Amino acid sequence: MRSLYRRQLTLMVSTMLLSFTLLAGAFMLLSYRYIIGETRDSVERNAGYVSSFTSTYYHRYLTLDLQDEFYSSYVASIAMISDSHIIVAGPDGKILYATADGQFYDYRDSTLPENVISQVLNEGSFNGMTNLGGLYPEKRYLSALPVTNQIGPMTVTQGMVLVAADASNLSEMWTATATIFFFSAVVVFLISVIASTLTSAYQTRPLNEMAEAARKFGQGEFDVRVTGYEDRCDEVSALAEAFNSMANSLEKVESQRAEFIANVSHELKTPMTTIAGFAEGILDGTIPPERERESLEIVVSETRRLSRLVRRMLDLSRLNALAESTVTAQETFDLTEVMSRVLISLESKITDRRLDVEVQMPGDKLMVWGDPDSITQVCYNLLDNAAKFAAPGTAITVQITKKDGKAHTTIRNLGATIPPDELPLLFERFHKADYSRSMDREGVGLGLYIVKTILGNLKENITVTSEDGVTQFHFTLTLA
C-alpha cells in the first residue's frame, strides 16, 4: 500500500522536476538567443561600417589600395574596438585583406567558401556560424555584406566585407549562465524536497494516530482520544476535533447500550421469574385453588409487561430502519381528532393518578401533513410521559394553535423539575433522567427517542423546557 506521505512527496518532487525542466529550457533558449542576438547586431553593424567605408573608398579612388595607411588604420581600429576579425575580399571571393586586434593576417592566397560568396552576391548578406572552410580553427559568428557602387545606371559589386566574432566567448557566457541557473535550481530543489518531507510528515502523523485510535475503537477501547492538535487551527485540527467528538459519542452510546442491556436483562428476568414461579405453584398445588385466579392475574400482568418491552424494541428497530431512508409517504389528517383519541385511550391512567386535563384546541378540524399512525404514537408517548411524571392532583395541559403555516402542539405537566444538564439528553436512546428512575419502573428510555426520530423524519422540530416544576414539550407539524 502506498502511503499518503509517499504520494504527496512523489507528486511534489515530480512537479518540481517538471517545473525546473520547463523553466531551464525556456531560460537557456532565451538567454542563448539574447547573447547570439547581441553578437549578431554588433557584427552586422561593424560589417555595415566597413562596407560603407570601403564602398566610399572605391568610389573616390576607383581602386582599393590596401597599403593606404588611412584605410588600414580605420579597418584595424574597428577590429580592435569590436574584438573581431575583419576580412575584405574581391567579388570572386579571393581574400584581399584580413586583420584582427590591429594585426594584419596574410590570407591573400585564400578564397572564401562558395556558399558564402553566392549568398552574399545573390541575397545581399550572410549571417551564421562558420569556420570559412577551414580558415579558422574554430567556428565564429560571421556577418558578410557586399561592397557596391552605382556606375551609371548599373549597381556594380566591387567586393565584400566579412566581420567574424569569436563564438567561444558566447559559449563561455552561456555555460556560466546555465551553471549558475543549474546550481540555483539544485539548491531550491533540495530545499523544496526537505520542506515537502517535513510538511508531509506533519500532515500524515495525525492521520496515522487517528487510524490507530480507530483500530483501538474496533477492539473496544472507547477511551482513546487524539490530542495535541488543538492549536493548529487548520483542517487537521478540525478533523481531530470531529474525531474526538465521534469518540465521545461512541463511548456514550456504548455506555448507554451496556446500561440498556442491563435494564432489559433485569426487566426480562423479573417478569419471567414471576411467571414461572406462579405457574409452577399452580401446577404443583403449592398455590391453593382459591388463590389461583389472583396468581393468574399476576401472570397476565407480567406477560403484558414483557409484551410492552418487546413492542418498544420492535418500534426502535423500525425507526432505525426508517432513519436510513427519507419519508416519502405523507397524507393529510385531523390533528385534533388524533389527539382526542389518544386522550381517550389514556383516560384510565389519567383518572388513576387523579389528574385533570385542560384542552385548548380549535373547534374545527385542523388538517396537517404527516403519517397519522406515527403522529398518534408521538402524541401517545408525550401524553403518557406527562401523566406518568405529573404530581397527583395536578393538571395536564394540551394546547394546539396555528401560526406561520404550522400547527404548534404543547403538552405541559406539573411535577419535578428536570435539571438543565439533563434536558439535551432526554431524546437520546436508552437515556432516563435521574429524577425519573424511581418513578418509571416500566420504561427503558426509548419513548422520547422514538418521538424525536419520527418528527425528525418528517422534518419537524420538538423542544422541551422545565422550570419551577413545569415541564413543557412543544412540537410542530405542517398545515395542509
CB neighbours (10 Å) of residue 347?
10
Read off the pLDDT of each residue in 350-371 and give the average, rounded to a whole number.
Answer: 90
Residues 344 and 400 in one domain: yes
Which of 322-326, 330-334, 400-404, 458-462 bottoms out in mean pLDDT, i.e. has the lowest? 322-326
State the distance between the two ends of the chain, measured CA to CA, in whole angstroms: 57
Report pLDDT for 98.
85
- State which residues form the domain around 253: 235-323
Taking alpha carbons only, the member of 389, 400, 392 closest to residue 358 is 400
pLDDT at 326: 45
Q: Positive or negative, the Cα torsion across 196, 199, 202, 206?
A: negative
pLDDT at 335 over 90: yes
> Over 60: is that where the pLDDT of 447 sits?
yes
Written as nine digits, the cell of 460 is 419537524
246 and 365 fall within a common domain? no
CATH number at residue 69: 3.30.450.20
Residue 280 pLDDT greater than 80, yes or no: yes
> Structural domain tally of the chain?
3
User: What pLDDT score was predicted for residue 1?
Assistant: 44
Q: What mean pLDDT is reported for the chain?
A: 80
In a domain, 444, yes or no: yes
Own/partner contacts of 31-38, CB < 8 Å, gap of 24 or more, are 31/174, 31/177, 31/178, 32/174, 35/170, 35/173, 35/174, 36/141, 36/170
Residue 264 has pLDDT above 80, yes or no: no
Residues 337 and 287 in one domain: no
**Pair 316, 338 in one domain:** no
Question: Looking at per-residue confidence, does 22 or 469 come out higher?
Answer: 469
For position 169, what pLDDT does the model report? 63
In a domain, 301, yes or no: yes
CA gap 346, 411 in Å, rounded: 14
Flag the least confident range among 10-14, 189-193, 251-255, 262-266.
262-266
Give the C-alpha separation, 275 to 290, whole Å.
18
Domain boundary among 267, 301, 323: 323
- Claim to verify: residue 267 and residue 352 sit in the same structural domain: no
> Residue 173 pLDDT > 50, yes or no?
yes
Q: Residues 265, 167: one domain?
A: no
| Domain end point (choices 156, 173, 190) | 173
pLDDT for the residue numbered 394: 93
CATH number where 284 lies: 1.10.287.130
For residues 231 and 251, the model is more confident at 251
Q: Which CATH number does the domain housing residue 354 bear? A: 3.30.565.10
What is the SS3 string spanning the chain?
Answer: CCCHHHHHHHHHHHHHHHHHHHHHHHHHHHHHHHHHHHHHHHHHHHHHHHHHHHHHHHHHHCCCCCCCHHHHHHHHHHHHHHCEEEEEECCCCEEEEEEECCEECCCCCCECCHHHHHHHHHHCCEEEEECHHHCCCCCEEEEEEEEEEEECCEEEEEEEEEEEEECHHHHHHHHHHHHHHHHHHHHHHHHHHHHHHHHHHHHHHHHHHHHHHHHHHHCCCCCCCCCCCCCCCCHHHHHHHHHHHHHHHHHHHHHHHHHHHHHHHHHHHHHHHHHHHHHHHHHHCCCCHHHHHHHHHHHHHHHHHHHHHHHHHHHHHHHHHHHCCCCCCCEEEEHHHHHHHHHHHCHHHHHHCCCEEEEECCCCCCEEEECHHHHHHHHHHHHHHHHHHECCCCEEEEEEEEECCEEEEEEEEEECCCCCCCHHHCCCCCCCCHHHCCCCCCCCCCHHHHHHHHHHHCCCCEEEEEECCEEEEEEEEEEC
131 and 158, same domain (yes or no): yes
> Residue 177 is placed in which grid cell?
549562465
Q: Quick one: 335 and 257 in the same domain?
A: no
- 138, part of any domain: yes
Q: What is the pTM of this model?
A: 0.42
How far apart (Å, rounded) are the C-alpha atoms in residues 82 and 165?
Answer: 8
- The pLDDT assigned to 386 comes to 92
13 and 141 belong to one structural domain: yes
> 150 and 19 in one domain?
yes
| Same domain, residue pair 20 and 105 | yes
Q: Does residue 197 lie within any of the structural domains?
A: no
In tens, the pLDDT along 233-242 reads: 777 778 788 8
Single out the residue in 158, 173, 188 at which a domain terminates.
173
CB 126 within 8 A of CB 120: yes
Contacts of 284 (CB under 8 A, 6+ apart): none
Does 227 map to a domain? no
131, part of any domain? yes
**Which of the four pLDDT bands, split at 50, 70 and 90, describes residue 328?**
very low
Q: What is the pLDDT of residue 471?
A: 94
What pLDDT sits at residue 303?
84
352 & 440 share domain: yes
Domain assignment of residue 112, yes or no: yes
Q: Is residue 218 part of a domain?
A: no
